Structure 1
């Protein structure tokens, strides 16, 4: 090919690139872009649906019960330095949750002990979960407080002095503290045995139903 022919061919290709797209070409381009976008949207939708289907639904057991956190234990069962335990006035606030805890604490006495269940929501024994589920209506009216050991806010629970003094086993998925509160100055409040096995925990709680 001569230099003149080569230059002519180059100019022709340049003109082809620079010319505006025809109406038909623009339509084809729009259709192509739309097809690509629709394909991407379908793929994303399929991936999202598959991911949601594979995720296990997380249901927190016993969520309807009044729960406390590790820092609350100091004011419930901690030695207050005056020969007794706890400081229930700590819960006399405008907070709805604190008021619920305070109401339960003030309903406890030597005849109606306070029960505190420390449990792991991911590993709670089925018999205990079933008991709380089947008797929820009754137990919600009793002096029962729960603390979920799996909640990150309770990560330091076994460093709380009130818990350490009771010798609660850290490896157990559940432990029940029975606290006899007595407002009679002639008698002192005291703790019953701390149970960590399901059989004795259920025996203790069956008195409430």
Structure 2
């Protein structure tokens, strides 16, 4: 009896399907546009914008540096918080009008930053002006003045280091009898007090302190 031997094929059917991931990847690549290099104009505009930003930062830094050193080196005067007068202010406040009275107070009525001064000279019977040299300050008088309540009083300051030369050369105010040799003086202008339209000057420290302690 013949024996028939059958061979079983162990080979598998070929898989004709491509992997899905690979197909998707190829599709994505196909959709992507080719990489474009920036044009010369775009590069130029970018560099220009960057330069403007850098220059702005540098400029701001320089300005702040200058302001810092200016404020650091700025000297603060002993009486900077008080009302100061110029040589021209003194003349308009005390000149002889030729009719028995002195000064033209209306001169100050419309001046900017003189509002408080104008109110003070119009509402007080006495006007006080302390002349001093900031380079040769009398510390006794400085401390006494700073201890006083001058709010509302017609009390003003003139730095002779700034205006002394012009003041002593001005013959219009020679009647005040200011002494050029003094480093400080206190002028009292009796506008409408015990001796109206008269002036008194204290030249020495002791007398200045007495007047300061008896301000009216």
Query: 2:145 aligned with 1:132, yes or no?
Result: yes
> Secondary structure at the residue paired with 2:106?
helix
Distance 1:165 1:79 in 2: 8
Where in structure 2 are there 5+ consecutive unaligned residues?
A: 1-68
Query: 2:208 aligned with 1:208, yes or no?
Result: no
Aligned to 2:177: 167
* RMSD value, Cα: 2.5
User: Does the CA contact (< 8 Å) of 1:85 and 1:189 recur in 2?
Assistant: no
User: Does the CA contact (< 8 Å) of 2:124 and 2:153 recur in 1?
Assistant: no
Distance 1:163 1:123 in 2: 24
Aligned to 2:161: 150
Give the Å deviation of 1:192: 4.2
Deviations 1:163-198 (A, max 9, x none): 422221112111111111129xxx973324311111
The structure, 1 or 2, with the larger RCO (C-alpha pairs under 8 Å, 6+ apart) is 1
Task: Note the 1:94-133 alignment, pairs <5 A.
Answer: 94-96=111-113, 98-109=114-125, 113-133=126-146
> Secondary structure at the residue paired with 1:202?
helix
User: Does the CA contact (< 8 Å) of 1:148 and 1:154 recur in 2?
Assistant: yes
Query: 2:96 aligned with 1:79, yes or no?
Result: yes
1:178 to 188, 191, 213: 188
| Alpha carbons of structure 1 residues 60 and 103: separation in structure 2 relative to 1, 3 Å | same
Query: 2:60 aligned with 1:60, yes or no?
Result: no
Distance 1:201 1:164 in 2: 21
| Alpha carbons of structure 1 residues 103 and 173: separation in structure 2 relative to 1, 3 Å | same
Distance 1:94 1:168 in 2: 26
Aligned to 2:21: none
Deviations 1:67-117 (A, max 9, x none): 110111121111012221000000011502x222211211222xxx11111
Task: Note the 1:20-35 alignment, pairs <5 A.
Answer: none
Aligned to 1:28: none
User: Does the CA contact (< 8 Å) of 1:108 and 1:180 recur in 2?
Assistant: no
Give the Å deviation of 1:57: 6.7
Give the Å deviation of 1:200: 0.4
Give the Å deviation of 1:124: 1.8
Q: If the length of structure 2 is used for normalisation, what is the TM-score? A: 0.60
